[in-house]
């Protein structure tokens, strides 16, 4: 099962992180971005940069998270480079999380599910292992993704408590029954996840839980013992390793932490080769997390 | 302002509908779909079919809604055909609603906003007038779309009460403060909409409200007097004209009703030329709505 394979790899690399390929053209070194004069050229430059980053980290991280918005921005060439980036990461042995937060009614969600996780005319169009989705529409909008998870051994992460400053506006409101909206969404995710439970006690149907809200993460970790967390918010968004302790269980498992700008833009701080800088940043992040996870496991 | 222009056109055509180009390959006549053997060929067939539909209805409907999931399914060629379909509809004088339900944290939402509504490297990548978005992340995930609405005179429709069977699972839950989740989302949309209020008293920041839930539509119409509704659910999803009366104000304004399969697949019932069948279905829908709106306005 895909969630077991991901956790196996997290254990093997001793690194519950993923590198976020939210690759804006402005993140590239001047030498690479400077000659670009069209969205098509930008897409190719982004692809070259992504390959360099993937090569630099493939032996030390288990996964990449590819944020499709940055690719859609570049039109069809960008969409193509999104797919090629996923394929290249897969080739290098990385798990690929497509961060697309898709959502729609059943018949349409089916199209997204097949596009990202399934097949079109018997072909795999994208080499994604996991897809992020938004559960605002309820169960029948999620069912096609669950079906694709079952049919093709894939996984999804449903937005539960997001990392952004305004996430509480809706998500932290309290329902009549005493639960917050994010707890309610978490409960739905746990129910959906029953279809794909793996050997570590985690489901291939996981949740997005922002590292920037450690209190909510603590509540959710206790409430959803079988739900694996994709954790954004470390680094540029303001969360440190201490803050994301709450996302993990006593074994130090249960989550994967994303870092995008902290790795892609490491060269802007350090100067020098961007890939060397990215690897150094990824190693520093691993050490930072190992430190905190070591404390959890020692307890 | 874009919402005024859309309402002007709805009045001119006496037709508050849009044709949904949720074009699955299986909706095409056998003669067009039969020779297709790859996703690239499928995308081209879909484009030819879309152009035929657009030509057949351009003088009688004000807008099309293009559902991007069906295009993403076909890979980069599909993404390209999504853009070409939007451009062709625009060329024929139709308003273009991109139905993509995008959502993310601010920095990423900015990429989507520019991709669909704004510019990339000073170019318009997609010819969309409106974009559907999901507000689960709260204000800072919506702000980049609002900014694009202001900068480029565009509009958005935020999911409030969706048309699908499970939409109530989250959306109809009652909050501690007495509001339902969909009312709360509606209130946020009304607040966001204050930036772009037009001459008819409606904002370019609208809401998606399913025709399949007439009670909720009635509540929302009263609660959100300045919010224009994009109304899915007519036809194949089960709502009839009587059910969507509640989406309109006393002038017969305030909403635009989508029909996808009822128009694209009309030829499957009638036989014969698919475009003639689509035009007949669009005319029948207009008559159906005019009937009901006539009743409202006569009161």
Residue A195 has, within 13 A of its CA and on its CB side, a CA count of 19
pLDDT score of B235: 84
Query: Cβ of B72 and A106 within 8 Å?
Result: no
Signed CA dihedral, B76, B81, B86, B90: sign only: positive
- Output the pLDDT for position B262: 96
Phi, psi of A120 (to 5 degrees): -130, 120
Q: Assess B114–A contact: CB distance below 8 Å, yes or no.
A: yes
pLDDT at position A299 over 80: no
Q: Nearest-CA distance from A271 to chain B in Å?
A: 24
A173 touches chain B (CB under 8 A): yes
> Which is the catalytic residue, given A90, A92, A101, A218?
A101
Tokens found for residue B38: 């790859």
Nearest CA in chain A to B81: A76
Least confident of B32-36, B170-174, B230-234: B32-36
**Check: complex ipTM more than 0.85:** yes
| Cβ within 8 Å, pair B176-A174 | yes
Dmax over Cα atoms in chain A, in whole Å?
Answer: 58
B20 in Cβ contact with B63 (< 8 Å): no
Is there a contact between A36 and A45 (Cβ–Cβ < 8 Å)?
yes
Average pLDDT over residues B95-113: 98
Q: Per-residue pLDDT tens for A266-286?
A: 999 999 999 999 999 999 999
Q: B242-270 as b/e, with b when 16 or more CB fall inside 10 Å?
A: ebbbbbbbeebbbbbbbbbbbbbbbbeee
Contact A73 B120 (CB under 8 A): yes
Which residues does chain A have within 8 Å of residue B145's beta carbon, measured at their own beta carbons?
none
In Å, how far is A152's CA from the nearest CA of chain B? 16
State which residues form the domain around A180. 2-298
Identify the pLDDT of residue B34: 81
Separation of alpha carbons B27 and B73, rounded Å: 15
Is position A101 annotated as part of the catalytic site? yes
> What's the pLDDT score for residue B237?
79
What are residue B145's phi and psi, to 5 degrees? -70, -40
In the numeric block, which tokens belong to residue A256? 């994967």
For an interface test with A, give the residue of B38, B170, B174, B177 to mutate (most A CBs within 10 A).
B170
Answer whether residue B67 shows pLDDT above 90. yes
Of A73, A105, A173, the CB nearest to B164: A105
Q: Give the whole-number percent of chain A exceeding pLDDT 90.
A: 91
- Is A188 in contact with B173 (Cβ distance < 8 A)? no
| CATH for A118 | 3.20.20.70
B164, A138: Cβ pair inside 8 Å?
A: yes
Average pLDDT of the residues in A246-264: 96
What's the full length of chain B, in residues? 299
CB-based contact, A170 to chain B, within 8 Å:
yes
**Band of the pLDDT at A132, cuts 50, 70, 90?**
very high
Residues B17-60 pLDDT 10s: 999 999 999 999 998 988 899 999 999 999 999 999 999 999 99
Residue A248, pLDDT > 90, answer yes
pLDDT at B120: 96
Judged against a pLDDT cut of 90, whether residue B112 lies above it is answered with: yes
Sign of CA dihedral B139, A235, A66, A7: negative
- List the single residue in B39, B123, B165 with the smallest CB-CB distance to A140: B165
Name the domain count of chain B: 1
Asked whether the whole model's pTM tops 0.90, one would answer yes
Coil, strand or helix: which one is A266? helix
Instruction: Provide the pLDDT for residue A128.
Output: 97
Q: Whole-number mean pLDDT of chain B?
A: 96
A168 vs B contacts (CB less than 8 Å): 138
Query: How far is Cα B52 from Cα B64, in angstroms, rounded to an integer?
Result: 13
Across the interface, whether the CB atoms of A120 and B39 are under 8 A apart is answered yes
The residue in chain A having the minimum alpha-carbon distance to the alpha carbon of residue B139 is: A166
Candidates B40, B70, B104, B124: best to mutate against A (most CBs of A within 10 A) is: B104
């Amino acid at each position: 099962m895909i969630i077991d394979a991901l956790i196996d790899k997290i254990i093997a690399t001793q690194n519950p992180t993923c590198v976020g390929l939210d690759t804006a053209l402005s993140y590239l070194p001047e030498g690479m971005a400077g000659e670009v004069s069209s969205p098509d050229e930008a897409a190719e430059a982004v692809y070259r940069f992504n390959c360099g980053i993937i090569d630099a980290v493939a032996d030390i991280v288990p996964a990449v998270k590819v944020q499709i918005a940055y690719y859609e921005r570049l039109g069809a060439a960008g969409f193509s480079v999104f797919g090629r980036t996923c394929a290249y990461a897969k080739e290098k042995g990385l798990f690929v999380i497509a961060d697309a937060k898709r959502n729609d009614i059943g018949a349409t969600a089916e199209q997204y599910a097949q596009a990202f996780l399934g097949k079109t005319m018997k072909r795999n169009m994208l080499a994604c292992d996991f897809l992020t989705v938004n559960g605002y529409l309820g169960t029948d909008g999620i069912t096609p993704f669950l079906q694709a998870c079952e049919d093709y051994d894939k996984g999804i992460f449903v937005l539960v408590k997001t990392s952004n400053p305004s996430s509480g506006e809706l998500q932290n409101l309290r329902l009549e029954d005493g639960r917050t909206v994010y707890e309610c969404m978490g409960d739905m995710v746990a129910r959906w996840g029953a279809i794909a439970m793996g050997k570590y006690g985690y489901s291939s149907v996981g949740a997005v839980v922002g590292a920037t809200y450690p209190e909510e993460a603590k509540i959710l970790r206790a409430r959803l013992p079988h739900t694996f967390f994709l954790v954004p918010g470390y680094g540029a968004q303001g969360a440190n390793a201490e803050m994301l302790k709450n996302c993990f269980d006593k074994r130090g498992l249960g989550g994967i932490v994303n870092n995008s700008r902290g790795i892609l833009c490491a060269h802007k701080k350090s100067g020098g080769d961007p890939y060397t800088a990215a690897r150094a940043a990824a190693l520093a992040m691993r050490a930072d997390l190992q430190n905190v996870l070591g404390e959890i496991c020692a307890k």
